[in-house]
Chains A and B, each alone.
Chain A
Amino acid sequence: MNERKDSDVSTDPFPTSGDERRLDLDVELERDTEGVWTPSSLPSHDEVPPHIGFWKRFRRNKVALVAAIYLVLLVLAAVFAKQLVPQNPNVQNLLQVNAKPSGAHWFGQDDLGRDVFARIIYGARISLEASFLAVALALVVALPLGLVAGFVGGWVDQVLMRISDAIQVIPALVLALVISGILGPSTTNVGLALAIVFAPGFVRLVRGQVIGVREETYIEASRSIGAKPLFIIRKRVLHNVASPLIVQAAVTFGFALLAEASLSFLGLGVQAPDASWGTMLSRAFAQVYEAGWLLWIPGGAIAITVLAFNLIGDGLRDALGTETRGA
């Protein structure tokens, strides 16, 4: 750019127009520059500060708000399933097999006559539990590793990144399948397997953010006033890495739910008679010619919940965007 400018000087791309009026510089300079300009009298760039106004911003996104309400209700229902659902999800009623939805059984009854509504609610508990375990575990492992990789750099970074590569080259579902196959079928093991699958992505994200934030002037400024390294990591770095991480966690939660459903569908998750949405889908799939409508219920639950997580991720991204306006 600069070189080009130099060579253009001879051709003078902006010849004087002939308008040689003197700029009234003197007048400008005589203006009182001693007094302090008070920006408080002017409206600030944005009435909502980045974190205090988080809810205000989040609420603006109606879709994300609806998704959040749905998820809160779902979690509450899963936690208080016993109080909420009178039917026992595992009690069979072989006289009413594949019964269509009715007043007594809102979502109908499955191939063993069990109440589908109760199974969906109890299943939510297991599905959410496994997803939560996966995301939480992945975060706990990935956060320190990512910080170390980003901060220390060098061969430590190289080793951590190559391990991440090694994990990420294997398709997620195949890897999860293999790990939970080795560990044996259970909800906890599914969570564990998925944590291993998701951790490298988080490590990469944290590392990338740290590398970006590390060079910020406010880190240097913090060092220049004598802040301790751990303090800088905890306050200056972590808080500025948090926003994208929270968004990523929300979206990953959706993936985890989907993956859990897939593994359960293949019989690697929770074992009968307990049900997660994946196992319900699997059973319904076996009945597809007798009662095809049964597929829609766990399938719909999975689809809606995954969608909700993604929409919340979007909403969080918009609401958490760190403000550096005017910079």
Chain B
Amino acid sequence: MASAAAPGSGVARPLLEVTDLSVAFKGHKEIVTVVDHASFSLRAGETLGIVGESGSGKTVSSLALLGLLPASARVTGSATFDGRQLVNMPARKLRNVRGNDISIIFQEPMTSLDPSFTVGNQLAEAYRNHRGGSKRAATARAAEMLRLVGIPEPQRRLGEYPHNFSGGMRQRVMIAMSLICSPKLLIADEPTTALDVTIQSQILELLKSLQAELGMAMIFVTHDLGVVASVCDQVSVMYAGQVIEQSPIDDFFTRPLHPYSAGLLDSMPQSVAKGERLRMIAGTVPPPSRIPVGCRFNPRCQYAVEACVVTAPDLEATGDGREVRCIRHAELSLEISR
């Protein structure tokens, strides 16, 4: 089944197909739904950006794919990866997927490595965890990975401890660790947020070139549209736990379909002339316990009409490979002038 989409078979089946993924947390009194029927898909080798403000559910959805949420989380829906259902997969099977088929890198490179073991030890461990083999072979592989992520003198650096590495270098090590078993999908959860701007661009470049070299698919979870523009093929915009727009990257940046997307693009510093005040979307994302009736964005939307407060819009396909969750998308023209 998994090999149905053989190379050259024309119609490539998506590598990952997420449909109606919902995540709810059991609170003290009520059940809080943090991700509500999120759907997205991506093909092998492709990069999907998941964008949204803090609290929009983007990190939670990516953690849910790997079953990394705390026990109080209830995940429903479907996420098929390479023919296998990830949602509610038994822990033992899921461990085989983690790191082997799907890897994740987090936003805190400073604390993602165990301070009491050498970098080489941890890299080799990550390899032997799935592939077994001798320590020597794993260490050789670790050195190879360090070279691949652009760390000079890999042999020497293998014997050093995480505190000998700078933040950017540690994120490189984390990338090496997540790719050591050649996964088909890499989830990058704001991989550059904790880094300096110059290091950010280095890491992005590195991820792009590694993708070209190794051919893995990537999911980029970020709130930085600049990052999306530079690495992604597709973008999914999340708002208050819902996917509100899904577009190929070029369409998204020239003609967003959802007023929220337009607002996000409009608030980028680049869209403002020098000396002018930065624009912003008034208000904040509502907490999961106080989701407005109707369209979730309506209290902040400048185009909201009466119908927006009443009916909750569905995610509609617009025909040109894009999807949007807005009842007025056909009448609005939200072209971005630059």
Residues on A close to B: CB < 8 A?
31, 33-34, 36-40, 44-46, 49-51, 216-218, 220-228, 231, 235-236, 239-240, 322-327
User: Is the beta-carbon distance between B99 and A51 smaller than 8 angstroms?
Assistant: no
User: Is the beta-carbon distance between B96 and A220 smaller than 8 angstroms?
Assistant: no
User: Is the beta-carbon distance between B116 and A50 smaller than 8 angstroms?
Assistant: yes
A228 to B108, CA, bound (A): 22
User: Is the beta-carbon distance between A226 and B96 smaller than 8 angstroms?
Assistant: yes
Mask, B141-162, CB within 8 Å of A = 1, is: 0000000001111001100110
A222 to B125, CA, bound (A): 10
With known contacts A50-B116, A324-B111, A226–B164 Cβ distance under 8 A = no
Q: Residues of B contacting A228 with CB < 8 Å?
A: 95
Mask, B73-117, CB within 8 Å of A = 1, is: 000000000000000000000111111100110101011111111
User: Is the beta-carbon distance between A323 and B161 smaller than 8 angstroms?
Assistant: yes
Contacting B106 at CB < 8 Å: which of A49, A221, A240, A326? A221
Q: Residues of A contacting B205 with CB < 8 Å?
A: 33-34
Q: Residues of A contacting B152 with CB < 8 Å?
A: 36, 38, 40
Contacting B112 at CB < 8 Å: which of A34, A39, A46, A221? A221
A280 to B131, CA, bound (A): 62
User: Is the beta-carbon distance between A226 and B95 smaller than 8 angstroms?
Assistant: yes
Q: Residues of B contacting A44 with CB < 8 Å?
A: 160, 164
- B201 in the interface, Cβ–Cβ < 8 Å? yes
- A150 shortest CB reach to chain B, Å: 15
**23 A/B residue pairs, CB under 8 Å, sorted by A:** A38-B152, A40-B152, A46-B163, A49-B163, A50-B163, A217-B106, A217-B111, A218-B113, A221-B112, A221-B113, A224-B66, A225-B103, A225-B126, A226-B96, A228-B95, A235-B114, A235-B125, A239-B116, A239-B117, A240-B116, A324-B110, A324-B163, A327-B110
A37 to B165, CA, bound (A): 11
Further pairs besides A36-B152, A226-B99: 13, Cβ < 8 Å: A31-B198, A33-B198, A38-B152, A49-B118, A49-B164, A217-B108, A220-B106, A221-B113, A221-B177, A225-B99, A228-B95, A235-B125, A323-B163
Determine the residue in chain B with the shortest Cβ distance to A223.
B68
User: Is the beta-carbon distance between B161 and A324 smaller than 8 angstroms?
Assistant: no
Closest CB pairs A-B (n = 6) = A225-B99, A226-B98, A226-B99, A327-B110, A323-B163, A217-B111
- B130 in the interface, Cβ–Cβ < 8 Å? yes
User: Is the beta-carbon distance between B114 and A239 smaller than 8 angstroms?
Assistant: yes
Q: Residues of A contacting B112 with CB < 8 Å?
A: 217-218, 220-221
- B144 shortest CB reach to chain A, Å: 16
A223 to B98, CA, bound (A): 8
- B174 in the interface, Cβ–Cβ < 8 Å? yes
With known contacts A224-B99, A226-B98, A50–B161 Cβ distance under 8 A = yes
Determine the residue in chain B with the shortest Cβ distance to A216.
B111
User: Is the beta-carbon distance between B153 and A39 smaller than 8 angstroms?
Assistant: no
A228 to B92, CA, bound (A): 8
- B327 shortest CB reach to chain A, Å: 34
Mask, B317-338, CB within 8 Å of A = 1, is: 0000000000000000000000
Determine the residue in chain B with the shortest Cβ distance to A219.
B114
Say whether chain A's binding surface is mostly helix, strand, loop, or mixed.
loop
A240 to B129, CA, bound (A): 20
Determine the residue in chain A with the shortest Cβ distance to B66.
A224
Q: Residues of A contacting B164 with CB < 8 Å?
A: 44-45, 49
Determine the residue in chain A with the shortest Cβ distance to B101.
A226
A240 to B96, CA, bound (A): 26
User: Is the beta-carbon distance between A40 and B156 smaller than 8 angstroms?
Assistant: yes
User: Is the beta-carbon distance between A224 and B202 smaller than 8 angstroms?
Assistant: no
A36 to B206, CA, bound (A): 10
- B178 in the interface, Cβ–Cβ < 8 Å? yes
A39 to B151, CA, bound (A): 9
- B263 in the interface, Cβ–Cβ < 8 Å? no
A58 to B337, CA, bound (A): 65
User: Is the beta-carbon distance between A235 and B161 smaller than 8 angstroms?
Assistant: no
Determine the residue in chain B with the shortest Cβ distance to A221.
B112
A34 to B114, CA, bound (A): 28
Q: Residues of A contacting B106 with CB < 8 Å?
A: 217, 220-221, 224
Determine the residue in chain A with the shortest Cβ distance to B106.
A217
User: Is the beta-carbon distance between B163 and A325 smaller than 8 angstroms?
Assistant: yes
User: Is the beta-carbon distance between A34 and B161 smaller than 8 angstroms?
Assistant: no
Determine the residue in chain A with the shortest Cβ distance to B160.
A49
A216 to B94, CA, bound (A): 21
A200 to B134, CA, bound (A): 41
* Residues of B170-203 contacting chain A, CB below 8 A: 174, 177-178, 181, 198, 201-202
- B167 in the interface, Cβ–Cβ < 8 Å? yes
Contacting A322 at CB < 8 Å: which of B98, B99, B116? B116
User: Is the beta-carbon distance between B174 and A322 smaller than 8 angstroms?
Assistant: no
User: Is the beta-carbon distance between A224 and B98 smaller than 8 angstroms?
Assistant: yes
